[in-house]
Amino acid sequence: MDTDKNKKVRVALRRNRTKPPRGNDLTRDYEGGDTQSDAAESGERVRTKGAISRHRTVTVDAAGNVAMPGVDVAAWLPGRVFRVHGLFSSVEVEDGRVFRCSVRRLLKSLVTDERSIVTTGDRVWIRPAVEAAPTDLPEAMIERVEPRHGVLTRSSRRREHVLVANVDQLAIVMSLVQPDLKPHLIDRYIAAAYKGDLKPVLCLNKADLTDAAELQPIIGAYAQLGIPTVLTSARTGQGVDQLRELLANRATVFSGQSGVGKSSLLNAIQPELALRVKTVSESNEKGRHTTTTAELIRLDTGGWVVDTPGVRQLQLWDTRAEEVEGYFPDFRAFVPLCAFPDCTHRHETGCAVKSAVARHYLSERRYHSYLGLFDGMNEE
Ligand SMILES: Nc1nc2c(ncn2[C@@H]2O[C@H](COP(=O)(O)OP(=O)(O)OP(=O)(O)O)[C@@H](O)[C@H]2O)c(=O)[nH]1
Ligand SMILES: [Mg+2]
Ligand SMILES: [Zn+2]
Stretch among 123-132, 138-147, 291-300 having the lowest mean pLDDT: 123-132
pLDDT at position 345 is 96
CB atoms under 10 Å from CB of 55, counted, come to 15
pLDDT mean over 35-52: 36
Residue 2: per-residue pLDDT: 44
3-state secondary structure of 138: coil
Per-residue pLDDT at 17 exceeds 60: no
Specify whether the CB–CB gap between 266 and 296 falls below 8 A. Answer: no
Compute the distance between CA of residue 45 and CA of residue 43 in angstroms, rounded to an integer.
Answer: 5
| The pLDDT of residue 55 | 63
Average pLDDT over residues 129-142: 77
Q: What does the pLDDT read at residue 318?
A: 80
The domain spans of the chain are 3-67, 73-145, 152-307, 322-378
- The pTM of this model reads 0.80
Q: Is the CB of 206 under 6 A from ligand 1?
A: yes
**What whole-number percentage of the chain has pLDDT above 90?**
54
Mean pLDDT of 192-209: 96
Is the bond into 179 cis (omega within 30 degrees of 0)? yes
Q: Does the pLDDT at position 33 exceed 70?
A: no
Distance from the alpha carbon of residue 264 to the mean position of ligand 2, in angstroms: 7
pLDDT given for residue 213 in this prediction: 81
Mean pLDDT, residues 102-119 taken together? 68
Query: Of the ligands numbered here, which is closest to the C-alpha atom of 256?
Result: 1
Maximum mean pLDDT: which of 38-52, 202-216, 232-246, 260-274: 232-246
Q: What is the distance in A from the centroid of ligand 2 to the CA of 189?
A: 18
pLDDT (0 to 100) of residue 111? 53
Task: Please report the pLDDT score of residue 140 as a whole number.
Answer: 93
Residues with CB under 5 A from ligand 2 (ion): 262-263, 290-291
Most confidently modeled range among 34-48, 221-235, 279-293, 317-331: 221-235
Task: Tell me how far the alpha carbon of residue 155 lies from the centroid of ligand 3, in angstroms.
Answer: 26
* pLDDT confidence of residue 335: 96
334-355: per-residue pLDDT in tens?
Answer: 999 999 999 999 999 999 999 9
pLDDT of the residue at 41: 33
Q: What is the position in ligand 1's atom list of the atom closest to the CA of 209?
A: 1
289 pLDDT exceeds 90?
no
* 239 Cβ inside 6 Å of ligand 1: no
Gap between the Cα atoms of 377 and 107, Å rounded: 29
What value does the mean pLDDT of the chain take? 81
Question: What does the pLDDT read at residue 141?
Answer: 92
pLDDT on residue 299: 94
Band of pLDDT at residue 43, cut at 50, 70 and 90: very low
Residue 187 CA to ligand 1 centre (angstroms): 22
| 310 within ligand 1 shell (Cβ under 6 A) | yes
4 vs 31, higher pLDDT: 4
Q: Is 209 in the pocket of ligand 1 (CB under 6 A)?
A: yes
Alpha-helix runs per DSSP H in the chain: 25-32, 39-48, 105-110, 183-195, 216-224, 240-247, 262-269, 321-324, 352-358, 364-378
Cα of 221 from ligand 1 centre, angstroms: 25
Is the domain spanning 322-378 CATH 3.40.50.1220? The answer is no
pLDDT of 156: 79
CATH superfamily of 73-145: Nucleic acid-binding proteins (2.40.50.140)
Q: How far apart are CA 313 and CA 309, in angstroms?
A: 12
> At the top level of CATH, which class does the domain 152-307 belong to?
alpha beta
Which of 30-39, 210-219, 244-253, 285-294 has the lowest average pLDDT?
30-39
Q: Which of 238, 264, 306 maximizes ligand 1 atoms within 8 Å of its Cβ, making it the mutation to test the pocket?
A: 264
Ligand 1 pocket test target in 278, 285, 289, 295 with most atoms within 8 Å of CB: 278
- Spatial separation of the C-alpha atoms in residues 220 and 212, rounded to whole Å: 12
Taking the CA of residue 278 as reference, the ligand 1 atom at the shortest distance is 16
Higher pLDDT, 203 or 110: 203
Does residue 40 have a pLDDT over 80?
no
Q: Ligand 1: does its nearest atom lie under 6 Å from the Cβ of 376? A: no
Residue 130's pLDDT is what?
78
- 274 or 146, higher pLDDT: 146
